[in-house]
Chain A
């Protein structure tokens, strides 16, 4: 099935993006990549230490598209600075903007995110902003030059699933950009659901990293994302409230 996702000029055949932040050892990462089939991997610049002999980047195979994120940033300015550092460090020109002010729930600050997106898109970055699913904010992100929008399904690390279902549905319907559901997805069935709804991709970290068997879970997500995508493309049948009678009661009226 040819169904590529194109972002920032890069053609992707996998719609599962993964994270690197929560594994018990970095050496798991190459295998998680292989089993998940993922082609995009996000890495927090704050964790990258070029001087270390266990630098996280050295565990990521060449073919992957790196998506450095600005986690830790509390303002647009900090996010911009982190993005520039990442590019200067040779991590490419993709960036996931993460601006979080609220240390209690870790919900993103959409306004600062829009500001950072404007600045970085103008500098030629492929900007993927992490956001609270809000339609006006998503439209502003598009106007600011975002290459996709990444609404949360539930707060980071909560594994609660697609709590923002209705809002994400609206973004998918109204925003002419790939919508990538990021954060909150805890089960393959939830990833499949996001894909069935028409999400362009999903990004996961906790669900795989904290599973008893991360490799098995990586594979489960690979299948779920691809099943959900196929279902979306195949067009789900309409949902009926009641059972539809096979022999209609008013058929005799012709």
Chain B
């Protein structure tokens, strides 16, 4: 049994009909329910829920404040390498683009770490493109070991690895795994992933579960919103999260809500995810998974981020660069364009102004 089996069942659902069939009464019932089932989740993601966003928001905020308090955890990504053997049609690191690729040396990792740590941030997410030659698990491990000296918690966002590789990283003190399925809809997945090992849908789908088995403290999943019908994608993501939460109670399952962003190429997504839609997704996630962390990246614009902090978000990135060595060197190629360029200090000020306390450290690596 893996989530693939659940997904196979869900894929049989007549989504188009179902989504249209929900009524206000279904939505109301879902908002008021204590424990939401898949049916309720779908109702909250349906068009019938659109007039109820405010009610959903009220409940989402209550749940979030009561479980997480008035705090917001901050983290930042660090890009280690942009070598990639895949061609994903939505990413600047795709192997078809020709630009000088880079991989940080250990000394460069140290320098980046010093600069980032000086901002006060203690939680770091390290990223690479997919290249088993340039940035294999051993390289990620080596970098993580150095980064542990500067950060209280180090998580990874790299290509799917084997359980044994994940275990090795856990032993090296890596706390968390972030891995987006990008697209749950399998045909669309095949279309968007044109070349490279990333084409193997199932290897990616099962990777978060391998991460849970390997003992990461937290596993964060998400769909790249905009690549396929967002209602279905959000539904699959949330059910995936619940599946992992039920099966691996000792792992903290989190969700991310990345929206498609401009990059080097010309690809335009199929499904436009408006701000309203994004809000509906966040609220449905919170109501369906009251204790799951929800992360918000700098893909979103400052004005929107400032509003979303009250709707269920528990983690935000700050002081972000999506280039390799972006904190110490010039001239890198960003993976995608970010929208919120504010510094850690500016985000901190904004949060206090909104009545929220930024938390820089929420865990210590215990290995």
Are chains A and B native binding partners rather than an unrelated pairing? yes
Which residues of A (151-168) have their CB < 8 Å from a CB of B?
Answer: 156-159
Binary flags per residue of A220-232, CB closer than 8 Å to B gives 1, else 0:
0000000000000
A49 touches which one: B245, B291, B352, B360 (CB < 8 A)? B360
Which residues of A (111-170) have their CB < 8 Å from a CB of B?
Answer: 156-159
Q: A49-B122, A49-B361 are in contact. Are A23 and B69 (CB under 8 A)?
A: yes
Q: A103 to B66, Cβ gap below 8 A?
A: no
Residues of B close to A82: CB separation below 8 A: 364, 366
| Bound-state Cα–Cα, A105 to B217, Å | 16
Q: How far is the CB of B61 from chain A (nearest CB, A)?
A: 10
Binary flags per residue of B346-367, CB closer than 8 Å to A gives 1, else 0:
0000001001110111111010
Please tell me which stretch of B229-237, B250-258, B268-276 contacts chain A, meaning at least 4 of its Cβ atoms lie within 8 angstroms of it.
B250-258
Interface size on A, residues (CB 8 A): 33
Q: B65 to A210, Cβ gap below 8 A?
A: yes
Q: B362 to A46, Cβ gap below 8 A?
A: yes
Q: A74 to B65, Cβ gap below 8 A?
A: no
| Bound-state Cα–Cα, A23 to B357, Å | 7
Interface secondary structure of B, over-half rule: loop
Residues of A close to B252: CB separation below 8 A: 103
Residues of A close to B363: CB separation below 8 A: 46, 72
A157 touches which one: B66, B251, B357, B362 (CB < 8 A)? B66
Q: A24 to B249, Cβ gap below 8 A?
A: no
B102 adjacent to chain A (CB < 8 Å): no
B69 touches which one: A72, A103, A104, A209 (CB < 8 A)? A209
Residues of B close to A156: CB separation below 8 A: 67
Residues of A close to B67: CB separation below 8 A: 156-157
A81 adjacent to chain B (CB < 8 Å): yes
Q: B152 to A22, Cβ gap below 8 A?
A: no
| Bound-state Cα–Cα, A104 to B360, Å | 24
Q: A24 to B362, Cβ gap below 8 A?
A: no
Q: B362 to A52, Cβ gap below 8 A?
A: no
| Bound-state Cα–Cα, A47 to B362, Å | 5
Q: A26-B357, A81-B366 are in contact. Are A102 and B69 (CB under 8 A)?
A: no
A-B contact count (CB 8 A): 80
| Bound-state Cα–Cα, A156 to B290, Å | 13
B291 touches which one: A103, A159, A206, A210 (CB < 8 A)? A103
Q: How far is the CB of B366 from chain A (nearest CB, A)?
A: 5
| Bound-state Cα–Cα, A81 to B364, Å | 11
Q: A159 to B66, Cβ gap below 8 A?
A: yes
Q: How far is the CB of A73 from chain B (nearest CB, A)?
A: 8
Q: A47-B361, A85-B364 are in contact. Are A210 and B66 (CB under 8 A)?
A: yes
Nearest CB in chain A to that of B363: its residue: A46
Residues of B close to A87: CB separation below 8 A: none
Residues of A close to B253: CB separation below 8 A: 103
Q: A23-B357, A104-B291 are in contact. Are A45 and B66 (CB under 8 A)?
A: no
Q: A22-B69, A104-B291, A210-B69 are in contact. Are A52 and B249 (CB under 8 A)?
A: no
Residues of A close to B122: CB separation below 8 A: 49, 52
Q: A21 to B69, Cβ gap below 8 A?
A: yes
B53 adjacent to chain A (CB < 8 Å): no
| Bound-state Cα–Cα, A46 to B365, Å | 9
- A-B complex: 7 closest residue pairs judged by Cβ atoms: A22-B69, A24-B70, A49-B361, A157-B67, A101-B250, A102-B249, A24-B355
23 contacts between A and B (CB under 8 A): A21-B69, A21-B71, A22-B68, A22-B71, A23-B69, A24-B71, A24-B355, A25-B357, A46-B364, A47-B361, A72-B362, A74-B217, A101-B249, A103-B245, A103-B250, A103-B251, A104-B291, A205-B69, A209-B70, A210-B65, A210-B66, A210-B69, A210-B70
Which residues on A are within 8 Å of B, measured CB to CB?
21-26, 45-49, 52-53, 72, 74, 78, 81-82, 85, 101-106, 156-159, 205-206, 209-210
